[in-house]
Chains A and B, each alone.
Chain A
Amino acid sequence: MGRTLSKLWLAFWQLLPANPILVRVVAGGSKRVRHLWLRAGYLIVLLAVVGFALLQNMGGVGASLTDLAKGASRTFMYASYAQLLLMCFLAPVFTASAITQEKDAQTFNILISTPLSNAQIVLGSLMSRLYFVMMLLIAGLPIFLITMVYGGVTTKQVLVSFALAGSTAGLTGALAIFVAMIGVGTRRTIFSFYLLIALYLLTVYLFGNWSSTWVAESEANLEGVRMSWLTPLHPFLALDVALNRVYAPEYTRLGSYHGLVRYALAYPSAFYAAWTLTVSVLLVAISVLFVRRGIKTGETTWFTSLVDRIKPRKTGERKREPRTVWANPVAWREASTKAIGGGLLRWAIILGGLVAGVIVFIFYAGGTLPAMQVRRWLAAITLVQFSAALLIATNTAATSITKEREAQTMDLLLSTPLTSKYILWGKLRGLVSFATPLLIGPMITLLVFALYDWAKGNSPPVAWIETAVELCAVLVLFTSMGCVIGLNHSIKRKTNMAAVMWSVGVTILGAGLVSMVGAALIQAVDAGPATFVAPFTPVTSILYLVDPAALFGHSTKEFLAGSGAARFSALFGSLIAVGVYVLLVWRTYTTLVRDFDMTIRKQST
């Protein structure tokens, strides 16, 4: 018995604490200056959120204990959302490197030729990537404990908040390792990985807030919102329940449901943690089986045979009909790129938007869906479509220079007579041409609704004819802004990964922050001035132009009653916003041109 226990302990010791892959990362990673800055940045953001929330919510000197407890509870809520949001962004960033790192560094074959077991390789790779994310979580714990001092926050709530963030990070890591081990990981996969996570979080959250998905047995909160069926599948919806913002139905009231569903609905946070953990373990187990299956070296396995049946692999020289190159070759290259976000993914997003629009239109024309609901749906579709377009455009821009550097084509370009101005203008023009079709779905849908209502004489219509044009203009400009942010980081950062991480981070944070400020301003001022503020931020502009009732809090019919003024302010506000963003994009572009030579040459030496 003693010998068995000793063997088990030794196996565990070799698997995790003494795993050489993990030891290398733990010993070396913590000392890296970049990691130190990231840890500091993460804690600063959390501290700032908690600090501001405490200042705003804790009342004055004479605040009662109840006020203090309520204030602490609200502070905890903000901190929990901030933590989960940061985890959803940082966990994919750190774990996604698993997908290409070994392949890029060509170290994988060396690794599998060592006596390390499959489990050691998989768990070492996974834990070495999750280590940093988990350290961030632990580092933030004292900040959460501050909120417990005033009461109003229970230990269970803190644990649930950390469990949701931790299990989300764990699942992301396991998914990245799985993709890396089955050998389908390329740079495109990394971006698809980000995009799918972002789209999943956004789409499920939007559906979760749709009344048709609400569980009838759950109690409505003060705003009349009930828990959704999707809550056990989404970390933010589950967090809403943990923070008592939405109420989960009691277990006893769910007698008509069977075992697992009943448990999932009654305890959504626990169920979320449980299923993510189960899926993570499954993914790791499958990865362990795949490590030495030879799939990475091009050998035929059942998986490649399956893929080959669907899409046969081409060997040797591949051919294609040549396309016509534009007069500006750099713009042509960017616009016609089939790299990240190109091809299938791009078409899936364009067609997805159009199909969703057609479905909503069929319901509207059939009289099943009222105009107000249609607007909400159109706003949701536009928001999802715009988020995808912005992420794809920012990511493609972020890799446009680093990709040239890694493919070693930058030197070829720099030895031609093309100037920095010409190269960057070409890149920007190509990127905008590439991203604009991604926004075409919502525009066409809006136009169809506007024309339909105009032909039918419906008043007020779902959308005005000019709304599609206004929306197109502001969204293209927001996307252009994402492109110049991406280009800026593509020039400054040395690797694809760093450029993507910075660009996407800055864009998401920037778009989110200005949208929050815009929404707060709109709530604070009268409807008149608010109509001029709304087009300046991505989320408020979509809501303002597509579903104004969601933004202004009164019925769309009332808002549109003075339609002439409303239409004029929308047009005028959009024009000013477009002008301001054109100036911002131009200013950033000219700065990039000025810095281009210096930065690129500095990097090459």
Chain B
Amino acid sequence: MSTSPPRRFPRPRVSESGSAREDTILIIQTINLTKRYGKLVALNNLQLNIEEGECFGYIGPNGAGKTTTIKILATLLQPTWGEARVCGHVVGYESRKIRPLIGYVPDFFGAYEDMVVQEYLEFFASAYGITGKQRKKVVGDVLELTDLRGKIDALVDSLSRGMQQRLSVARVLLHDPRVLLLDEPASGLDPRARIEMRELLKELRNMGKTIIISSHILHELAELCTTVGIIEQGELMFHGPLDEIIRRVKTGTRLHVRVTEQSDLAALLLEKSEAVKGVEMRNGHLVVDLAQQTSDYSPIARLLLKNNFRIHEIREEEINLETAFMRLTKGIVQ
């Protein structure tokens, strides 16, 4: 580890110690990050820039490359090509400097057999070099923060899935890391546990932690994250703030129209209109794409009423993270 090979890419705007200039503090940066498993390209020239304090939602279909990215950032995998930097340190070259700065929560709970909650936390605290009285204090603090104080003597493999995920978060907070890498922390949780987990993550976000979270529960990510990245087949389809993705997806106005009868005739009628770009029948109602972005739907309503159709419902489709995701991805699985 003493001699590093020549760097292939320019250094990020972050100093060696991990502190950075105040304007843009890039805490995570990937440059042409590529990972291959034999012939399979899991990541293809991934370019990610995540600033300190950001809560970054990482979305994509199964097998898109989310876990691979997070594992590389957690120093568990090495890139095939390109660079990944965490707090300015290059993964693979300076992994030992990165590990104390990150907290990694995988998409499973790694349960040690015959270990109670307090032992589990003390075990990892020791692994991070926290010993003696300091260890007791830190373990007490994280138990308090994650509301696990009442579970200190419970065996970890007998805890509910929700409690285990909570314990996972407690584990990564022991050494007060700058970056939290959370790989689908809400997977397999019941609704109550999911809501509690979301509240806990909000609390961490408010504490100023940089959070990278992958999840399939998009409306929760929308509530939690400041920026999102959409990945498919190892390629980043979008990366930016939440409102920007909505702006980008919203290229026209889409209406959902329901008439009381003869929907097919209504569809034919609307298709002939100049104001309409396209009409699609979906579950008995019409999805109408307007030629221009507008909030005035009266021409459509007037046209239908003029031709004796009785309108049951007419509303604009709401653009949220789910619709944006559906529009930006093709659903191709590697």
Is A409 close to B, CB under 8 A? Answer: yes
What 1/0 flags go to A400-424 for Cβ under 8 Å of B?
0000000111111111111100000
Give B159's nearest chain A residue, CB to CB: A317
Contact B112 A333 (CB under 8 A): yes
Give chain A's interface secondary structure class: loop
A308-356 with Cβ < 8 A to chain B: 316-330, 332-333, 337-339, 342
Query: Chain A residue with minimal CB distance to B158?
Result: A318
Residues of A within 8 A of B78 (CB): 601
Q: Known contacts being A409-B112, A417-B99, is A319 close to B154, with CB within 8 Å?
A: yes
A-B contact count (CB 8 A): 106
B124 touches A319 (CB 8 A): no
Report yes or no: B119 in contact with A325, Cβ–Cβ below 8 A.
yes
A window 277-326: CB within 8 A of B: 316-326
Q: Which of A317, A407, A414 contacts B154 (CB 8 A)?
A: A317
8 A Cβ contacts from B96-112 to A: 96, 99-100, 102, 104, 106, 108-112
Contact B126 A417 (CB under 8 A): no
> Is B326 positioned at the interface, with any CB of A under 8 Å from its CB?
no
Instruction: Name the CB-closest residue of B to A343.
Output: B114
Given A320-B153, A339-B114, are A415 and B123 neighbors across the interface (CB < 8 Å)?
no
Q: Are A329 and B113 in contact (CB under 8 A)?
A: no
Selected from A325, A339, A408, A604, the residue in CB contact (under 8 A) with B123 is A325
Residue interface mask B142-166, A partner, CB < 8 A = 1:
0000000001111100111000000
Alpha-carbon distance between A535 and B113 when the two chains are bound, in angstroms: 38
Chain B nearest CB: distance from A210 CB in Å? 40
A residues less than 8 Å from B119 (CB atoms): 322-323, 325
A319 to B152, CA, bound (A): 9
The stretch that binds A, out of B127-135, B198-206, B235-243, is: B127-135
For B314, what are the chain A residues with a Cβ–Cβ distance below 8 Å?
Answer: none
In the complex, the answer to whether B99 meets A325 with C-beta atoms within 8 Å is no
Q: Closest A residue to B102 by CB, please name it.
A: A415
Contact status A417-B100, CB under 8 Å: yes
Q: Is the CB of A106 closer than 8 A to any CB of chain B?
A: no
B305 within 8 A of A: no
| Residues 75-111 of chain B, each 1 if its beta carbon lies under 8 Å from chain A, else 0 | 1111000000000000000001001101010101111
Q: Chain A's nearest CB lies how many Å from the CB of B167?
A: 12
Are B37 and A407 touching (Cβ within 8 A)?
Answer: no
Task: Indicate if B122 sits at the interface (CB-CB under 8 A).
Answer: yes
Q: Which of A323, A342, A412 contacts B106 (CB 8 A)?
A: A412
* A319–B126 touching, CB < 8 Å: no
Our pick among B110, B125, B151 for the contact of A407 (Cβ within 8 Å) is: B110
Shortest Cβ gap from A152 to chain B (Å): 55
B123–A601 contact, CB under 8 A? no
Tell me whether A414 and B114 are in contact in the complex, defined as CB-CB below 8 angstroms, given that A319-B153, A319-B155, A325-B119 are known contacts. Answer: no
Contact with A along B202-220 (1 / 0, CB 8 A): 0000000000000000000
Complex alpha-carbon distance, A325 and B122, angstroms: 6
A6 at interface by CB-CB < 8 Å: no
Instruction: For the complex formed, measure the closest distance between the CB of A382 and the CB atoms of chain B, giving whole angstroms.
Output: 30
With both chains docked as a complex, state the minimum distance between the C-beta of A346 and any C-beta of chain B, in angstroms. 13
A605 within 8 A of B: yes
Do the beta carbons of B114 and A338 come within 8 Å of each other?
Answer: yes
Interface contact B116-A415, CB-CB below 8 Å: no
Complex CA distance for A414 and B74, rounded to whole angstroms: 9
Tell me the count of chain B residues lying within 8 A, CB to CB, of chain A. Answer: 43
> Nearest Cβ in chain B — how far from A192, in angstroms?
16
Are B104 and A317 closer than 8 Å at their CB atoms? no
- What's the tally of chain A residues with a CB closer than 8 Å to chain B? 37
From A327, which residue of chain B is reached at the shortest CB distance? B131
Complex: how many Å from CA A338 to CA B78?
34
User: How far apart are A58's CB and chain B's nearest CB, in angstroms?
Assistant: 53
Q: A171 to nearest B CB, angstroms?
A: 31
Is B69 in contact with chain A by the CB < 8 A criterion? no
Kindly report which residue of chain A lies nearest to residue B110, judged by CB atoms.
A409
CA distance A215 to B124 in the complex (A): 61
Q: Which of B108, B109, B124, B131 contacts A416 (CB 8 A)?
A: B124
Chain B 37-54, CB within 8 Å of chain A: the 1/0 string?
100000000000000000
Alpha-carbon distance A133/B106, docked complex (angstroms):
41
A residues less than 8 Å from B118 (CB atoms): 322
Chain A residues closer than 8 Å to B131, beta-carbon distance: 327
| B110 touching A337, Cβ below 8 Å | no
Expressed in whole angstroms, the Cα–Cα distance for A414 and B127 within the complex equals 10
CA distance A319 to B128 in the complex (A): 26
Known: A326-B126, A329-B123, A416-B128. A320 touches B116 (CB 8 A): yes
| Nearest A residue to B36, CB-CB | A605
Residues of A within 8 A of B151 (CB): 317
Complex Cα distance, B175 from A418, in Å, reads 13
Chain A's nearest CB lies how many Å from the CB of B156? Answer: 10
| B110 and A415 within 8 A (CB) | no
Interface centre among B78, B110, B118, B152, by most A CB within 10 Å?
B110
Residue in chain B with minimal CB distance to A419: B96
Q: How many Å lie between the Cα of A413 and that of B117 in the bound state? A: 17
Contact flag A415-B153 (CB < 8 Å), given A322-B118, A327-B126: no
B76 near A415: Cβ-Cβ < 8 Å: yes
The answer for the CA separation of A360 and B142 in the assembled complex, in Å, is 55
Give A316 to B157 CA distance when docked, in angstroms. 10
Residues of A with C-beta under 8 A to B128: 416-417
A333 contacts B123, C-beta separation under 8 Å: yes
- Report the separation of the CA atoms of residues A321 and B109 in the bound assembly, to the nearest whole angstrom: 22
CB of B110 within 8 A of CB of A604, answer no
Flag if A604 contacts B99 (CB, 8 Å): no
Residues of B within 8 A of A339 (CB): 113-114
- Once A318-B154, A319-B154 are accepted as A-B contacts, the answer to whether A605 and B37 lie under 8 Å apart by CB is yes
Q: Are B116 and A319 in contact (CB under 8 A)?
A: yes
Q: How many angstroms between the C-alpha atoms of A604 and B67 in the bound complex? A: 13
The chain A residue sitting closest to B153, CB to CB, is A319
Cross-chain contact B104 with A415 (CB below 8 angstroms): yes
CB-based nearest A residue for B183: A411
The answer to whether A413 and B127 touch across the interface, beta carbons within 8 angstroms, is yes
Q: Contacts A317-B158, A332-B123 hold; do A411 and B152 have CB atoms under 8 A apart?
A: no
Contact A415 B74 (CB under 8 A): yes
Q: Give the nearest-CB partner of A325 in chain B.
A: B122
Contact of A408 with B106 at beta-carbon distance under 8 Å, contacts A320-B153, A322-B153 already known: yes
Chain B contacts with A in 151-197, Cβ cutoff 8 A: 151-155, 158-160, 171
Name the one of A330, A338, A411, A415 contacting B113, with C-beta atoms under 8 angstroms.
A338
Beyond A316-B158, A409-B110, whether A418 also contacts B153 by CB under 8 A is: no
Instruction: Say how far A264's CB is from chain B's closest CB, in angstroms.
Output: 44
**Residue of A at shortest CB range from B123?**
A329
With A338-B113, A339-B114, A411-B110: A329-B76 Cβ-Cβ less than 8 Å: no
Could you jot down 14 A-B contacts, CB within 8 Å?
A320-B153, A326-B126, A329-B123, A337-B113, A407-B112, A409-B111, A411-B104, A411-B106, A414-B76, A417-B96, A417-B99, A417-B129, A419-B96, A605-B37
- Name 7 extra pairs, CB < 8 A, besides A325-B126, A410-B110, A605-B37: A317-B151, A318-B158, A322-B153, A342-B114, A411-B76, A411-B106, A412-B106
Which A residues form the contact surface with B (CB < 8 A)?
Answer: 316-330, 332-333, 337-339, 342, 407-419, 601, 604-605
